[in-house]
Amino acid sequence: MTADDAGVRSPRVLSVAGSDPSGGAGIQADLKTFGALGAYGMAAVTALTAQNTRGVTGVSAVDADFVTAQIDAVFADINVDAVKLGMLGGPESVHRVADCLRRHAPPFVVLDPVMVAQSGDRLVEERTVERMRDELVPLATLITPNLPEAAVLLNEEVARTTAEMEAVADRLAGLGCSAILLKGGHLGGERSPDLFCGPGGAIWLDGPRIDTANTHGTGCTLASAAAALAPVATSLEVAVRAAKRYLGECIAHADALGVGGGNGPVHHFHDPAVRALRQRLLRASRA
C-alpha cells in the first residue's frame, strides 16, 4: 500500500487466529480493532473455542488444510496490506501458515505468539513452539510477546526486571524477526513499560498501569492495532506507539462496558465519534 493509497482506501488486514465467542479476544477482538482504526478486517479461523469472561471450557482446532484454504482464498482475490497472527493451533498449522506467508509475501506481518495462558499454563506443545520459533518468527515484521511468551520462545526463565527485558530483547532479535515489542506488563508496579526494538535501536514505551480487572484480549488488541496502523504510518515505530496509545484508551474505558462476570473485555469502540455516528443515524431514521 502506497502513501497515495492511504488517502483512497482503508488498509486491508487479515487476522489468522482463533475464535472467542464472547467477543473479547481472538478474531473478534482483532476485527473490532481493525474497524475502530479504519481498516478493512478479514479473518481466517484456526480454532474454535468455548469461552467467556470467566474462562475457556473447550477448544476445537480447525484442520490445517482448511486454514490454508481460507488464507489462500483471501489472497487470491484481495490485496492484503498486513497480516496479524494469533492463536494458530498445532505444529502443522504453524507450518502451513508460514508457507502461506512465504508464497503470498504480505508487506507487514505482526505475530502475537499466543503460547501461555493468564494462569501461566503452556497452551501449546514444544513442537509447535519450535516451528513458531524457526518458521514464523523470521517472517515477522513485528513480534509482540509478553514476558512469559518470550521465555517460552527462548526456553529460559521469565524476565523480572527492565534490565533483564533488554537482554531478552537482544536474544529475541537473534531469532531473525525484523522488530520486537516486548511487553512488560508482567513486571507489576504502577507503570507498564514495553520495549520496542526496531531498525533504529531500542526505545522504551512507558505508560501508567490502569486499575481494572477488564483486560481480556489486550494482547490481541495491541497486535491488531499495530497491524492496522503499520500500512499507513510513517514508520513501524510510529505504528507501535499509536497502537500502545490506542490500547491504553481501550483499557481506560473498559469498565464502562460491564460485559460478563469475570475478566471482561477492553472497550474497542470507546471513541465518542462512534457514538456520534450511532446517534446521527438514529436521528436521521426518525425523520
**Active site amino acids:** 183, 215, 217-220
Burial of 255 (0-12, 13-18, 19+ CB in 10 A): middle
Q: Are 40 and 13 in contact (CB under 8 A)?
A: yes
* Enclosing H/E stretch for 166: helix 162-173
Q: Are 68 and 94 in contact (CB under 8 A)?
A: no
C-alpha cell at 35: 474497524
Specify the residue for cell string 484442520. 63
Task: Give the residues across from 191 on adjacent strands.
Answer: 208
Tell me how far apart the alpha carbons of residues 284 and 253 are, in angstroms, rounded to a whole number: 28
Residues 6+ apart with CB under 8 A from 30: 15, 17, 41, 43, 84, 86, 220, 221, 224
Q: Are 208 and 190 in contact (CB under 8 A)?
A: yes
- Residue 62 Ramachandran class (φ > 0 left, ψ -120 to 50 alpha, else beta): beta
| 3-state per-residue secondary structure call for 77-106 | HCCCCEEEECCCCCHHHHHHHHHHHHHHCC
Q: Rounded to 5 degrees, what angle do the CA atoms 167, 120, 237 make?
A: 45
